[in-house]
Structure 1
Amino acid sequence: MNINDNDRKRLYSGAFLRALATGMAGVLLGLYVARLGLSATWLGLILSAGLGGATLSVAVATWWGDRIGRRRALLWLTALSAGGGVLLALGSEGWLIVAAALLGMLNGMGRDRGAALVIEQAILPATTNDAGRTAAFARYNLLMDIGHGLGALAAALPELLVFATGMEELTAYRAAFLVYAGLLAAGLPLYAGLSAAAEVPARVERLVMSPQSRKVLLRISLLFAIDSIAGGFLGAALVSWYFFESFGASAAMIGLLFFGARLMNALSHLGAAWLAVRIGLVNTMVFTHIPSSLLLLTIPLAPNFAVAAILFLLREGLVEMDVPTRQSYVMAMVKPEERTFASGLTHLVRLGGWAVAPAFAGWLMSAVALGAPLVVGAAMKIGYDLALWASFRKLKPPEER
């Protein structure tokens, strides 16, 4: 199956808009919660609720996405996300913000990893061959990280509104989340215009995974669970809270920092594709990820915001190099008709881990130390990388055999 150029442009545009919204929410959510007078514990619960909703949606996309229809699924996911954003902008009580996060599948991690992405990634490999697959995923992630970066930069919107209009600070934050909802809603006409070529060529009532694919997916999903729980301690909203509480950094400063971080992520995706050709997908995943975790361990030791920001940016230049490579690796190791399920299952595991960790991270910040989640997350990620290399270094994708 090959998607026509119009469909590809619509998918890329929808993903870019979603990334803009996600990048903005990742920076603003923790600051918004603080201005509502809610604690770090509430922030953790809100993050977990949003990721819990996202996990449920990924489960639906994994098992029923192709049967529902890819276009229809994308429309429903987009509408619910936008509706949750509106409720988030209007709420004040902690329980209402939690409900809005659950309904809207709110992602406070600063990076889009939801059900819409699962469906898009199941389609993407059919647009290229084995040799070009990793580059295709690199370009897709490049576009999304540009969106994440611009979204982080847009986190200065509340301060701009206060400066330009004299608006109350909390009202400015509410307006910013209405913009967030609008960015998501803008994806509706894009997905509505997808052609029949975006659907699976022939629907099956029940997918039967091959024994080899099942074995690979089980092993790699268990490892992804460790990595995702670690990542849940390091979400953008939690990191924003850390910089705000530790150094008094403003929303504009933090937004600019995350803009720089997403630019580093975007450039690293192109580097990952180049490096994978030379040393292999698994080696690229592992030997760029471990140094990023070592850099993360140094951030709680930084004496001021400038040093912490430099260390953070260096870390972001490496941490995302495993994203296009692992996506490409998983899609290479399963059959074409298994890709929606494989993409969905690995994302489901990742979102489940993300949903578990923030509540504990919020507690660690309140009860132990502000930097405790950074240390825990980094240590877990190093353990994951070593286990991944030991388990998969000899299992090569087609282009490396």
Structure 2
Amino acid sequence: MLTFALNQWRLLPPETSADARVLLLARATRAFGDGFVSILLPLHLVQLGLSTVEIGAVATATLLGSAALTLVVGFAAHRIGRRVLLLRASLLMIATGLGFALLHDFWPLLIVAFIGTLNPSSGDVSVFLPTEQALLPQTTSDQQRTALFARFSLTGSLVAAFGALCAGVPGLIAAQTGLPLGRPIDGMFVLYAGLGLAAFWLYRGLSPAIEPPDSTVATPLGPSKRTVYGLAALFSLDSFGSGFVVQSLLALWLFQRFGLSVTTAGVIFFWTGTLSAFSALLAVRLSRRIGLLNTAVFTHLPANLFLLLTPFMPTMELAVVLLTLRSALSQMDVPVRNSYVMAVVSPAERPAAASVTAVPRSIAAAIGPLLSGWLLSLSPFGWPLVIAGALKSLYDVLLLWRFRAIRPPEERNR
């Protein structure tokens, strides 16, 4: 049914194989879980009696674990196959959901957070990401590559927004049944495990064609090494800033600063996620006019300035307006940036490039939540948002300055 809908509504661009449908459907399945988990995670940990710093530590552990697993994927993809890697990651997602549902002490949760697939961010920072990024260009032509990455981003952001809306379900169940709030929240983590099972079933449908042909052996970085390392360094700066405002901690700030309920926060993140989702499609059209890199920078920079100004707003309404404006622009760089990385390296270097750019980003992002949790324990003002906005704005300026002369193949004749 979902595959039929994808075709009917032309979510997939022309010249795209059936494997792209599978990857987008699996992305949607995982994104739904990421959407409600990113909001329920801080509430769940508060219910268990964890401090703000401990909550930040759990978020940090999830990102550090993702970085370690992503590094393993980068080394192992060419030996055991990318389909097998995705299947194994799905099994890990099942175990993660069950672990958070059944374990309620800090140290066991910290371990599960590190080795599991939990995502405290509104975007995808999991072990699935580099493998799927390396596979997507193989399912379409160079001309449709950016459009496919935009659909991939649209699917994830839109479904994650619906997931965020469902974060209010435990509160409704508790109010109607008289159960302690922790019980239905545990049930949502069981649902997360069920979504891992669904992703496993979907990945089983990938065809043998998804693996690179024998003539295209995955290689370490060669001619593109300097370019990829430079991109990885700048992406790490951006991710370090993003770590201060992962969705779990942004929700925690809203709870602290304005006393928002989880249901209201879910509605807010639904609309911000929806705006982020459809902005990805606009990014494709804009990139055809001004180029991939210009699109990434000139949409991302204003979004970061909105983020920086948010804590200075005197009312919740004004703060939400700025967060909404930020969301309308902040994710437009994601599909064009991913497309740019895959375009400026050779096909054989793509798995290594995806891993090399993803691992430092995850490590850099992992530092932010712990610092953010500490800052929020000192003051509810919102210093993490100010720091994040400043760092991410610096990234935009440096990215344009350093890489404006390196163009993807489809832009070299302009």
Contact 1:221 1:349 survives alignment (8 Å): yes
1:217 maps to 228
Q: Does 1:331 align with 2:342?
A: yes
The residue aligned with 2:147 is: 135
Unmatched tracts of structure 2, length 5 or more: 1-13
Moved more, 184-193 or 44-53: 184-193
Q: CA deviation at 1:370?
A: 4.1
Distance 1:347 1:206 in 2: 17
Q: CA RMSD in A?
A: 1.7
| 1:284-303 to 2 correspondences below 5 Å | 284-303=295-314
Q: Aligned pair in 2 of structure 1 residues 300, 79: CA closer, same or farther (>3 Å)?
A: same
1:128 CA displacement: 2.3
Does 2:263 match 1:252?
Answer: yes
Instruction: Give me the whole-angstrom Cα distance separating, in 2, the residues matched to 1:201 and 1:240.
Output: 45
In the TM superposition, what is the alpha-carbon distance from 1:117 to its structure 2 partner? Answer: 1.9
- CA–CA distance in 2 between the matches of 1:341 and 1:311? 37
Provide the C-alpha distance between the structure 2 equivalents of 1:263 and 1:206, rounded to a whole number of angstroms. Answer: 36
Alignment of 1:2-401 (within 5 A): 5-202=17-214, 207-211=219-223, 213-401=224-412
SS class of match (1:186): helix
* Structure 1 stretch displaced more, 195-204 or 236-245: 195-204
Deviation at 1:304, TM superposition (A): 2.3
One-letter amino acid of the structure 2 residue matched with residue 161 of structure 1:
I
Indicate if the aligned counterparts of 1:3 and 1:197 stay in contact, CA closer than 8 A. no
Once structures 1 and 2 are overlaid, which stretch shifts more, 363-372 or 253-262?
363-372
The CA deviation string for residues 332-371 of structure 1, in whole angstroms up to 9 with x for no partner, is: 0001111111112111121111112111111111125440
TM-score by length of 1: 0.96
Say whether the 8 Å CA contact 1:24–1:110 is kept in structure 2.
Answer: no
Cα shift at 1:114: 1.7
Q: How far apart, CA to CA, are the structure 2 residues paired with 1:369 and 1:167?
A: 30
Which whole-Å CA distance do the structure 1 matches of 2:237 and 2:179 have between them?
A: 44
- Equivalent AA in structure 2 for residue 262 of structure 1: G
Q: What is the percentage of aligned positions where both structures have the same residue?
A: 38
Query: Given the superposition, is the C-alpha separation of residues 309 and 168 from structure 1 closer, same or farther in structure 2, using an over 3 Å criterion?
Result: same
Flag the 1:294–1:12 CA change in 2: closer, same or farther, 3 A. Answer: same
Structure 1 unaligned regions, length at least 5: none
Structure 1 stretch displaced more, 232-241 or 164-173? 164-173
Q: Deviations over 1:121-157 (max 9, x none)?
A: 1111122222221111101111111111111111111
Counterpart amino acid of residue 98 in structure 2 = V
Structure 2 letter corresponding to 1:289: H
3-state secondary structure, aligned to 1:131: coil
Query: Normalising by structure 2, what TM-score?
Result: 0.93
Q: Tell me: CA distance 1:241–1:180, structure 2 relative to 1, closer, same or farther (3 Å).
A: same
CA distance in 1 between partners of 2:18 and 2:73 (Å) = 23
Letter in structure 2 aligned against 1:66: H
The Cα shift of 1:186 comes to: 1.3
